[in-house]
Amino acid sequence: MLRPAALLIVATLIAGCASPEEKLALAEVHHTPLAFDPTDEGDLGRWWSNGAQMLRLDQTGEYALYRNANRYQPPLERGSWARPSYAQVRLSPYDDAVDRWQRVPITKSGDVLQLHVRDLAPMTPIEAPPVVIEDDLIGVWQAADGTLVLGADLVYSFSPRSAASLPVPPAVVAGHSGGWRLEGEQLRLRPYPANMGAFELALGFGDDGTPALRSDRTTFRPATNDRDLSRSFPAP
């Protein structure tokens, strides 16, 4: 076994025999820093976006990958995620048709972390997802016949005042709830139970020119006048 002094002599001889180019290469190997500090793990449980798609990494260990910047649309993929090392995230889709897990490299551009999901453009963290039309629809809407509440969880509830004129088949006389989704300029309501059938409300304006959700039977207007709906309901 070589003693420390002998190792030093050997290393000196090797360095002395190296060409200037080889010495430069050795210096780069020994002194080039990592892409980012491996002890600075950062908080990955948040929203990520590349301007076209979005990724939500929940603190619960679940994730959702969206095909666009609208989080209210059905996600392209759901699953669980973990961080096995400082340099990567693993996505495990719930869909058996997709690979069991996917490696997502973590890099850093300046001071900003980036996630590289498959062949998508790099994603960077964002404070919150972009505001979309669905955000404007969430809240309480009132009509002469009752009250419609659209929740951020895409669940609605309808409480009729009477059975005279409801935005549902005439046989329905009681309050009901279900799921809601925006499809183009139509608000589609799917009551529970499903045998009631779905129905639609159109985004438009009332006779007084104010934003409204309309059907052949009734017109819903915002319950309060302090909501700016000009983005979702452009002036006619």
Task: Please answer whether residues 91 and 64 qualify as being in contact, where contact means their C-beta atoms are separated by less than 8 angstroms.
Answer: no
pLDDT tens-digit series, residues 43-77: 899 999 999 999 999 999 999 999 999 999 999 99
Lowest mean pLDDT among 20-29, 146-155, 175-184, 214-223: 20-29
User: Strand runs (DSSP E) across the chain, as ranges?
Assistant: 47-49, 54-57, 62-66, 77-85, 88-93, 102-109, 112-115, 124-126, 139-143, 146-150, 155-160, 176-183, 186-191, 199-205, 211-214, 219-222
Lowest mean pLDDT among 134-143, 158-167, 172-181: 158-167
Domains of the chain in sequence order: 47-126 (2.40.128), 133-222 (2.40.128.280)
CA distances from 28 to 17, 18, 32 (A): 18, 14, 5
Q: Is the pLDDT of residue 19 over 70?
A: no
Residue 221 has what pLDDT?
A: 92
Task: Please answer whether residues 150 and 158 qualify as being in contact, where contact means their C-beta atoms are separated by less than 8 angstroms.
Answer: no
Which residues are bridge partners to 10 per DSSP?
none
When pLDDT is averaged across residues 182-191 and rounded to a whole number, the result is: 92
The four Cα atoms 56, 78, 186, 146 give a dihedral, to 10 degrees, of -80
CA distances from 37 to 57, 85, 146 (A): 21, 12, 58
Residue 58 has what pLDDT?
A: 95
pLDDT tens-digit series, residues 83-137: 998 899 999 999 866 567 889 999 998 889 999 999 999 999 999 999 999 999 9
Lowest mean pLDDT among 11-25, 74-88, 146-160, 182-196: 11-25
Q: Is the pLDDT of residue 4 over 60?
A: no
Other beta carbons within 10 angstroms of residue 60's beta carbon come to: 9
Task: Please answer whether residues 59 and 11 qualify as being in contact, where contact means their C-beta atoms are separated by less than 8 angstroms.
Answer: no
The alpha helices in 52-171, defined as continuous H runs, are 133-137
